[in-house]
Amino acid sequence: MLVLILPNAALIWHTIAGGGSLGIWWASTRVIENTINEYPLFSFLWGDPHAHVLGCFNQLFFLCLLAVMLVRWKLLPAGGKYLLCVILALSLGTMPAMNSWDVMVYAGVYLVVAAVIWLMHGHSLRDAVRCRLHWCRFFRLRPMRRSCTRCCPAAGPVSRDFSW
């Protein structure tokens, strides 16, 4: 999240060149002629509510939830895992309302973290491909049928054990 407080290079250039204290901030956002090139630090300081500013807080919240998921998944009780997945889904689902580009980035990040958790708990990617990431095998939820043998014949009955 260091990107939120870093200025762009033009601000540093205008500071070294000796612009006025308020003029350097404005000039640093007009790098290319007839365009506005704002960055998060400028928007935070001037209270300029653009989509990239509004989305920063949800992105930080989402990344913190992913960190909790990555570090504490095995220790969470079943209800905590469900709650974490629901909150992650809500956070990811609200991103398009703030900044539509964020969803494409953070959905990929979520899939990578989910794959890492899958691998950390003794599963292989070959299992995931063979089962075609069927929802009852991935989340270990109780499917409509008692077993997941439709897509994974060797799976057997699905338990409510979330310790994987």
* Owning domain of residue 35: 2-46
Task: Looking at the structure, tell me whether residues 73 and 113 fall in a common domain.
Answer: yes
Give the phi and the psi of residue 157 in degrees, each rounded to 5: -65, 145
**pLDDT band per the 50, 70, 90 thresholds, residue 140:** low
pTM: 0.63
Task: Looking at the structure, tell me whether residues 56 and 111 fall in a common domain.
Answer: yes
4 versus 107: which is more confidently predicted?
107
Looking at residue 144, its pLDDT comes to 45
Using the CB atoms, write b or e for 84-115: b if 16+ within 10 Å: beeebeebbeebeebbeebbeebeeebeebbe
Check: CB of residue 110 under 8 Å from CB of residue 103. no
Looking at residue 143, its pLDDT comes to 46
If you average pLDDT over every residue of the chain, what do you get? 76
Task: Looking at the structure, tell me whether residues 77 and 104 fall in a common domain.
Answer: yes
User: How many structural domains are present in the chain?
Assistant: 2
| Residue found by looking up tokens 């209800």 in the block | 79
Looking at residue 130, its pLDDT comes to 59
Task: Looking at the structure, tell me whether residues 7 and 37 fall in a common domain.
Answer: yes
Instruction: Examine residue 90 and state whether it is found in any structural domain, yes or no.
Output: yes
Using the CB atoms, write b or e for 58-76: b if 16+ within 10 Å: bbeebeebbeebeeebeee
Task: Looking at the structure, tell me whether residues 42 and 81 fall in a common domain.
Answer: no
pLDDT, tens only, 20-62: 676 777 777 887 888 887 777 788 888 878 777 888 889 999 9
As a whole number of angstroms, the longest Cα–Cα distance in the chain is 73
Task: Looking at the structure, tell me whether residues 76 and 118 fall in a common domain.
Answer: yes
Looking at mean pLDDT, say which of 3-12, 33-42, 149-158 comes out highest: 33-42
Instruction: Examine residue 34 and state whether it is found in any structural domain, yes or no.
Output: yes
pLDDT, tens only, 85-103: 999 999 999 999 888 888 8
**pLDDT band per the 50, 70, 90 thresholds, residue 80:** very high
Task: Looking at the structure, tell me whether residues 63 and 94 fall in a common domain.
Answer: yes
* Segment 5-30 mean pLDDT: 75
Task: Looking at the structure, tell me whether residues 36 and 83 fall in a common domain.
Answer: no
